[in-house]
Chains A and B, each alone.
Chain A
């Protein structure tokens, strides 16, 4: 009796489902994003408790898990969507757990009668997994009343309602534009239960992300490079078109270029240490340091 009780304790169930491993991985690999992680935990908890309720013969309708991710560029919306597919798979909510990422072009056709088959094609592929629609607000173009986007939205709505246990739809986009999108498509807003806002990263979180990225790429900063990069991040954040983690990745790519050029001139054989260490001079060569005022360029190098 005790053993049976043990087996159905929520913590044991969480271990057994393998969702714990995914959640831990989420914690380890995603810096910050506290509200997002909190919500994913809530969803995991609900799905597990629902399973227990079902075992007791209690009413357990699968919850609607369509989601909307809002946030500035580079805050990890796509990454989290990918993880979400994994989590939902582990919890047994979706059957296959693959992610189909699409934008307006994949859903909306070019001429009359082209949209419906195109949208249905995408939906068929996404069945059993997660459909991620990036920049979903482009689906609705109020300035053109004959726009085919509306048709795609209607088909989406229908499938979101009727095939709730076959697929999960995640919409993503910038906050203000998603709000206008929902305001003009109330049907869509009411079918999405979870609105998750992705906050911008702080300076510390960006530095942690940098370390994670460097680790994955087998690079490291030397003593002087780290503060130099911290200064770089602080300056870069002030500039327009700052795209959080994406800007960091781009900056690292450019630093790698400079690092490679520096080593390329060397006449001696290179040690492993030299190949992996990024120095302060690689970072300080960036234009962000030089032009304090001229900040209008996109993604300054």
Chain B
């Protein structure tokens, strides 16, 4: 099951040329770009691991692409997302984020039903990938 998360998530995966253009846009807005990766794709897992520091004084997309390539080399089978941080006073948060790398095979989620007191039923989802192996060995 293909994970959709962040901006452009319902489009086909962006090509490198398209990613470069998006980075150019972010840099033109004065946003700082960061790379994050994870192997736990649960939608509530918002804090992914950072790959290096957020790139503050970068002027050109080529610099970010350099870092993205080395991130892909290190984690070829992880989810990698690119985040753009707006440091404007009052905003100071991530304003754009999209997935730039995903594992070959995404097994998807299991729906977990648990019965509570009375006739209450609670539902949650659990990633098969997380279930079957420990962190770092999932994909």
Query: Which of A's residues lie within 8 Å of B, judged by CB?
Result: 95-96, 98, 117, 120, 123-129, 163, 166-167
Residues of A near B55 (CB, < 8 A) are 124
Give the 5 A-B CB pairs with smallest separation, nearest first: A128-B60, A124-B63, A127-B63, A127-B62, A166-B62
- Nearest CB in chain A: distance from B2 CB, A: 31
Contact string against A for B residues 25-64, beta-carbon threshold 8 Å, 1 for contact and 0 otherwise: 0000000000000000000000000001001011111111
List the B residue with the shortest CB-CB distance to A98.
Answer: B59
Further pairs besides A96-B60, A125-B57, A128-B63: 6, Cβ < 8 Å: A124-B64, A124-B66, A124-B67, A125-B58, A126-B63, A128-B60
Interface size class of B (residues with CB under 8 A): 10 to 19
Q: In whole angstroms, how far apart are the Cα atoms of A126 and B52 in the complex?
A: 18
Residues of A near B58 (CB, < 8 A) are 124-125, 127
Q: In whole angstroms, how far apart are the Cα atoms of A120 and B69 in the complex?
A: 13
Q: In whole angstroms, how far apart are the Cα atoms of A166 and B67 in the complex?
A: 14
Contact indicator B66/A167 (Cβ below 8 Å): no
- Nearest CB in chain A: distance from B118 CB, A: 57
Contact indicator A128/B66 (Cβ below 8 Å): no
List the A residue with the shortest CB-CB distance to B59.
Answer: A96
Contact indicator A123/B59 (Cβ below 8 Å): no
Q: In whole angstroms, how far apart are the Cα atoms of A128 and B55 in the complex?
A: 15
Contact indicator B57/A128 (Cβ below 8 Å): no
- Nearest CB in chain B: distance from A81 CB, A: 16
Contact of A129 among B60, B64, B67, B70 (CB under 8 A): B60
Contact indicator A120/B66 (Cβ below 8 Å): yes
Q: In whole angstroms, how far apart are the Cα atoms of A7 and B63 in the complex?
A: 35
Q: In whole angstroms, how far apart are the Cα atoms of A96 and B58 in the complex?
A: 11
List the A residue with the shortest CB-CB distance to B60.
Answer: A128
Contact indicator A129/B66 (Cβ below 8 Å): no
A-B contact pairs, 22 of them (CB 8 A): A96-B59, A96-B60, A120-B67, A123-B63, A123-B66, A124-B58, A124-B64, A124-B66, A124-B67, A125-B59, A126-B63, A127-B61, A127-B63, A127-B66, A128-B59, A128-B60, A128-B61, A128-B63, A129-B59, A163-B62, A163-B66, A166-B62
